[in-house]
Structure 1
Amino acid sequence: MKKLLFILLAILIVLIAVILIKTFTYPFRKANAGNGQGWKAVKNDSAIQRLSGGIKIPTVSAGELGEFDYSTFDTFKEYLKQTYPLIYQNTENYEVNKYGLVFRLKGSNPSLDPIVFLSHYDVVPPGDAEIKDKSENIFRPDDQPLAPNSKVAEDWDFGPFSGAVANGRIYGRGTIDMKGMFFSLMESFNNLIKNKHTPQRDIYLAFGFDEEVGGQKGAAQIANYFKSKNLKFDAVYDEGGLILQKGSVAGIDADVAVIGCAEKGFLSVKIKVKGLGGHSSMPPLESAIGKAAVIMQRLEKDQMKPIVTPLMNEFFTNIGGSMSFVNRMAIANQWLLRPVLLSQLTKNNSTNALVRTTTALTMMKGSDAPNVLSPEVEFIVNFRLLPGNTVKEVKDHIARATEGFNVEIEEIDNVKEASAVSSTTTKAFKLIEAGIREIHPTAIATPYLTVGATDAYKYQIVSKNIYRFMPIKITDAEKQSIHSTNEYISIENYMKMIHYFEFIMLNYDK
């Protein structure tokens, strides 16, 4: 017995030693050294006013398949022509499907594949501010705060389409998502032209107009147009990741720049569950809504299995050096501790979305009266697919959850597989890292999985190097303002974003 205990103790000591050695020798990326500031933002009042003017034009996209009022989009196009005459005079520029905007700055070496920067100029509605008080002019032309007794002031410090410049910020719907990036790209282009810079390869700007409702009329058709012209891009740059301020990511003691190298897929299905209807005074033993509840419980309780994908493994390797010892130990010893790591990751909403295909029950419809049993109950479940999972696998998962019940299953919205994963060894990715060091030297730059949908997905037909990153340093409060109330971008962020894109354009072939 003593001999067995001795052997077990020896095995335990060896195991602990292996775990510690692997933890201390694991190639975690070290935080960048630097002065913490990088390129110092230089305020440019003219650039700020040009963005402010664009924010004042309410290019709101809403409804299905891009069926909305385009009159403000016409106004916006005219505003661009008046505001950036140098770009219109010195680039090849054209429209795709009337509102998709393309600009090409011709390079000196036509043998090189071009690069393209994406953005979109449609924005989501401003929320309840639009209808709270019809007497309040939310499209404010001035930079004054809203009246204290204004109902709009409950949500917005300034009108949603005021373009107000105050407190070191530019306020309004779209300042972050994503007219800020749109105008920073235009400013960068404008600076290159003013300085008479000719790039080696062609540089394109491609702007969609219905990204917020799926991008089928904008980005999808622009990408198809590029394909019809046999264009192949060395890199595609779009929105997706951000620079998360220190403290924003639990357990990480550093600013983290997350670069989307892939995005999740999408599948929404409507599940109709059949049962017996009738009067609630004589209910059946199992109602349609009860059956639906069982299926929904199955879907939430038995979700798709979590996985640490190669992309997320690279993410953990990059950020692990700024995490606690226990977390580093779990990351470095996944051969033994992967179940523990996944257990911890799936307990948090944000990290759970990075390691599994998520399940979200979003809508439900049954009887229209409190005393009537509906013979049919329907609900909608949305899945965001992890790279590595397929739509077919999710459909099989749904079939298992609905087994034993009389159901109809219908796909709704735009179904798409998870995107391909772009390499982190390309020139295009290395330039992103260099650009981040230029404006925020101490930030940890890391590949990441974009959990939302972007226009970039449509460009897989013309490039294999697609990166989703907006170079602004953002707080939790600012992140929450996206698609919500009181959206703004700091002037410092805007100036640094202009410099970042100009840096990429100037240095891509150096």
Structure 2
Amino acid sequence: MAGPEDPRFDVMGNLHAYLEQTFPRVYSKLDVEKIQKWGLLLTWKGTDEHLKPVVLMAHQDTVPVNPSTIDQWTYPPFDAHLDESGWIWGRGVADCKNTLIGLFAALDRLIEDDFTPTRTIILSSGFDEEIGGHRSAAYLASTIESRYGKDGVALVLDEGFTGVDTAYGVPFARFGMAEKGAVSVQIEVLTTGGHSSVPLSAHTGIGVLAQCITALEAHPATPLLQKGNPLLQQLQCAADHGDVDKQWRRRIRNPKQWKNIGLEMAKQDPIARAFLGTTQAVDLIEGGVKLNALPEYASASVNYRIDFLSSVNSTLEHISSILEPVVADLNLTFSSYGSHPKVDNNVVRLSMVGTSAIEPAPLTPTDGDAWELMAGTTRHIWEGAVVAPSGMVANTDTKYSWPLSRHIYRFVPGSLDLIKNFHTVDERIHIDAHLTGVRFFYKLLRNTEGWQAA
């Protein structure tokens, strides 16, 4: 794994220079530290050191742009073009430079307004979130923990997939109160080679691999709407406050209906399916070297996003239980997570990919002081909005912040109608959404004044 000294990260220096030139008041007022060379840790010390700080997060890096798609962009992906309609186009404007710049802008305005925080405010910004955060977010979180202790932070706020939009007939603001886990596995098939004119069995190594993949896709995890799932909490809020059908409202309030509702939602909507259980995606496959040579090696890699209420181990066990009878029927050895390390032919190996295992995040409480601060601020910016729990189906840098606080929120402070195309062609954000985000961060920090959470 390349470290922060890798020259590919040097471009972050240009971003740091821009931030310092654009927000000189922030750099002069706050303590600015570089963690792991490119990680930014800004601290605005409060007047009461007995109060737990708040931590606001946004990462600096972006996913790359596939060169083959550049001509599909309306404007060049790294020009940050502002069009006549108020849209800013470019890679990273939605994920999540809008948040990073919005936080700096809010801090700058607070300084201009002579705000003095009672509670310490921390901005934590890593540079490798899109490749796991191991080089920066992990060190930023451990630095904060070394200073404030375990559970020493009142509130952590980072990027999310949910924001403010119209749902169930009313404005809905959804906070990510949970985050799915993740793990990836590799299936390797090692078989005897030879000339393809004389196949040695009904299935070549690639055929065996296809049988394994087919079995996995035929036995996905069952989507389940159950207590503790943030989608159920969201639906219950919709039943209480949304403009919804009376029969639907009765079904949501009846636990005996939850199983059927979950199955119906999963069938109709892939996003709902992702919220309702562990998902699997076969993303990489390799095998064979020549058309007339039997493949001696074939492999596939499968990515799992683990249900909010499940675990890495249960996911790994499920995968193994599906593959074991398939491999046995093919009369091959099944080496499950290293169970037969010395077998190197006519074997199917199942292994976990590197450090891919991430447990589902602890569930953030949906009541208490932190919830009231977040919900109250949100209702102030978006009048009439129903505030509801939601979840994060991907992973964020907050996975390193679990020791810091029970109160971790993942949220896009803007209308999702005005934030488009995360991670793909024509990523863009409307200036109105960006400015609303600045207002949200400003008001949130203003509201910490007099906030009596420990």
1:53-452 aligned within 5 A: 67=6, 69-128=8-67, 152=70, 154-166=71-83, 167-231=85-149, 232-246=152-166, 252-283=168-199, 284-307=201-224, 308-310=226-228, 311-320=230-239, 321-335=242-256, 337-347=257-267, 348-404=269-325, 405=327, 406=333, 407-412=348-353, 413-452=355-394
> Which amino acid is 1:72 matched to?
V
8 Å Cα contact 1:424-1:430 kept in structure 2: no
1: CA distance, partners of 2:45 / 2:146: 19
Mark the runs of 5 or more structure 1 residues left unpaired by the alignment.
1-62, 133-151
* 1:474 aligned onto 2:395: no
2: CA distance, partners of 1:497 / 1:376: 51
1: CA distance, partners of 2:128 / 2:320: 34
Comparing 362-371 and 233-242, the one that deviates more:
362-371
8 Å Cα contact 1:428-1:508 kept in structure 2: no
Deviations 1:327-365 (A, max 9, x none): 333322222x23311221221211111111111111111
2: CA distance, partners of 1:256 / 1:243: 8
2: CA distance, partners of 1:322 / 1:258: 17
Mark the runs of 5 or more structure 2 residues left unpaired by the alignment.
328-332, 334-347
TM-fit CA distance, 1:210: 0.9
> Which amino acid is 2:385 matched to?
A
Pairing partner for 1:490 from 419, 430, 452: 430
Deviations 1:194-232 (A, max 9, x none): 111112210111111111111111111100111222341
Q: 1:383 to 1:389 in 2, by over 3 A?
A: same
1: CA distance, partners of 2:439 / 2:164: 19
2: CA distance, partners of 1:224 / 1:120: 16
Deviations 1:231-267 (A, max 9, x none): 4110000001433533xx6xx3333322101111110
Q: How many residues align?
A: 419
Deviations 1:269-302 (A, max 9, x none): 1011244433332221233223222222221121
Q: 1:377 to 1:70 in 2, by over 3 A?
A: closer
In structure 2, the residue corresponding to 1:502 is in which secondary structure? helix
Larger radius of gyration: 1
2: CA distance, partners of 1:68 / 1:264: 32
1: CA distance, partners of 2:368 / 2:401: 17
TM-fit CA distance, 1:455: 0.8
In structure 1, the residue corresponding to 2:58 is in which secondary structure? strand
Comparing 90-99 and 111-120, the one that deviates more:
90-99
Comparing 80-89 and 493-502, the one that deviates more:
80-89
Q: 1:465 to 1:312 in 2, by over 3 A?
A: same
Aligned residues: percent identity? 28
2: CA distance, partners of 1:65 / 1:325: 56
> TM-score under structure 2 normalisation?
0.87
Q: 1:203 to 1:280 in 2, by over 3 A?
A: same
1: CA distance, partners of 2:249 / 2:215: 34
Pairing partner for 2:439 from 487, 499, 505: 499
Deviations 1:296-331 (A, max 9, x none): 222112122333241332111012334444433332
TM-fit CA distance, 1:392: 1.0
Q: 1:485 to 1:68 in 2, by over 3 A?
A: farther
2: CA distance, partners of 1:228 / 1:65: 22
8 Å Cα contact 2:189-2:208 kept in structure 1: yes
